[in-house]
Amino acid sequence: MYLSVGSKAPDFTLADQDGNPVTLSQFRGKKVVLYFYPKDNTPGCTRQACAFAQRYGAFQEKQAVVIGVSKDSTASHRRFADKYELPFLLLSDPELTVLQAYGVWQEKKNYGKVSMGVVRSTYLIDETGTIVQVMPKVKPDTNAQELLELLG
């Protein structure tokens, strides 16, 4: 189940693509675009990441930090970031702690087969650490632009 608008975003610490610990609360004072995606180097996830990368300057102008989270390893994230020149943080959550805390680890149906996986979703968190927008089941091609519009 997704978290609610108006609730505090659960704090966490995960390793980034270089293995460095990143804590959500270190970004207090900035807006945070926290997007969850299924898997590095898959078509939809690549399109979504590249759309954020193309608009990264605009996010910076709006004092917003972009953070992608999946269960892939830090090494996978590093290859993904290098291949597509991604300028933002990619965090690794192999234990599914954050994916579950934010309600994006859900049952999915694919060709009649049911399995657990990441539902592509995005949270917009304000400068105080409060969730101001929940975007479940986002489209990889429009997610970045929608967030820029929300940021004004």
Can you tell me the distance from the alpha carbon of 5 to that of 99, in angstroms, rounded to the nearest whole number?
17
Name the H helices within 14-112. 43-54, 56-61, 74-84, 97-101
Q: Provide the β-strand partners of residue 79.
A: none
45 part of the active site: yes
- Nearest in space to 11 (alpha carbons), one of 22, 105, 2: 22
CB 125 within 8 A of CB 34: yes
Active-site option among 22, 45, 66, 147: 45
Q: Are 53 and 85 in contact (CB under 8 A)?
A: yes
Task: Show which residues are catalytic.
Answer: 45
